[in-house]
Amino acid sequence: MRTIDDLDVAGRRVLVRADLNVPLDGGAITDDGRIRASLPTIETLRAGGARVIVCAHLGRPKGKANPEFSLAPVAARLGELLGADVAFASDVVGDSARATVDALADGDVALLENLRFEPGETSKDDAERGAFADRLAALADLYVGDGFGAVHRRHASVYDVPGRLPHAAGGLIATEVGVLKRLTEHVERPYAVVLGGSKVSDKLGVIDNLLGKADRILIGGGMVFTFLRAQGHEVGTSLLEEDQLDTVRDYLRRAEDTGVEFVLPVDVVAATAFSADADHGVVAADAIPSDRMGLDIGPESGELFAARLADARTVFWNGPMGVFEMKPYEHGTRAVAQGLIDSGAFTVVGGGDSAAAVRRLGFDEAAFSHISTGGGASLEYLEGKTLPGLQALED
């Protein structure tokens, strides 16, 4: 896979596929982590005299322009972080995009409007997607793929455009791939994996693949209640995927047969409703009242999880342990994050809600070895899948 060091970018128009899919609240960016992660590649290209054209998506506008999903706030924040003006095109491949690109001088940066305003970006029809890729590629001389959070998507800007232009991987993708290889090809053991989040079904592939690779798997978050139910325990009104019970039972059997340690909570914080103000308390994991829902792992479980991370040399964490956005249910996620730090292991926070939790709970990001920008992409890589965006950059 070539990198930007292999490209002569001076005076050339370089299309950078970044991941700027940041959370917004009323038009205000609530977490700019992905924008900051894109800066090194953009700054390297600027320093090399490139005319940088950044393209990215935000949310799921379903192929139609929608002001709610405009990248205009992102352009403003990107400019603040770069300390330079960022020109913003009000469309993706139309008159505004062409005029904005034509006005760039060496070292300038422009951001195109949300790629997903164009139906061709996400189309499953190769011809429609290809036609859009042609128009997007026509804006540039070179392509740099740096949106790791989108490389598992077979989208025009990720998969098709690299085939139309000389291309290379940006610094972020190169770093992410290097980290993932340490989790799959060069693993220092013991190797512990912490999985949380709401649904078992989101993690089926990665659990299946890791059963042959990890030394222990710690389960928390909403997905744990399907595991507890599979063991025959009452889970009250907690999140439950009935259709995954047999699969989970199979995982538990396979783990026992192969010597992989599954670590489940011994206590949970259970509440009468999904609310920070609801009556809540700590109960044993095998004795959740029928009228309560589990919203976090309990304090004993936090200590247990930290203890099972203490001797690990490699840790991958994807998914919070509870509804960390509500203060009464943040403690399990906090305990796991601190456990990663205290372990001294090579620690990877697998993007998405886990990365957001690290920042929201006030942890120093530098205390972790790596915080990924792509939760879904990381999981699919660990499942052993071929990621279209990486495949396109390797060609």
Annotated binding residues, as ranges?
A: 19-21, 34, 57-60, 116, 153, 203, 294, 325, 351-354
Cβ within 8 Å of residue 322, ≥6 positions away: 196, 220, 221, 269, 295, 296, 297, 329, 330, 331, 332, 333
Annotated binding residues for substrate, as ranges?
A: 19-21, 34, 57-60, 116, 153
Distance CA 109, CA 43 (A): 10
Does position 152 have pLDDT exceeding 80, yes or no? yes
What pLDDT was estimated at residue 220? Answer: 97
In this predicted structure, which of 41-55, 297-311, 354-368 has the lowest mean pLDDT?
354-368
Does position 395 have pLDDT exceeding 80, yes or no? no
What dihedral do alpha carbons 317, 320, 321, 326 form, nearest 10°? Answer: 160
Active site residues: 34, 199, 352, 376
Residue linked to tokens 């029928």: 290
- State the average pLDDT for the chain: 95
Q: How confident is the model at residue 198 (pLDDT cuts 50, 70, 90)?
A: confident
Residue 346: strand pairing partners: 314
Q: Provide, rounded to the nearest whole percent, the portion of the chain with pLDDT above 70.
A: 100
Q: How confident is the model at residue 357 (pLDDT cuts 50, 70, 90)?
A: very high
Question: What average pLDDT score do residues 119-141 get?
Answer: 98
Domains (range + CATH), the chain: 4-170 (3.40.50.1260), 178-383 (3.40.50.1260)
Q: Are 87 and 104 in contact (CB under 8 A)?
A: yes
Annotated binding residues for (2R)-3-phosphoglycerate, as ranges?
A: 34, 116, 153
| Residue among 247, 287, 272 at smallest CA distance from 328 | 272
Q: How confident is the model at residue 31 (pLDDT cuts 50, 70, 90)?
A: confident
Beta pairing, strands 293-297 & 267-271: antiparallel
pLDDT in tens, 54-113: 999 999 999 999 999 999 999 999 999 999 999 999 999 999 999 999 999 999 999 999
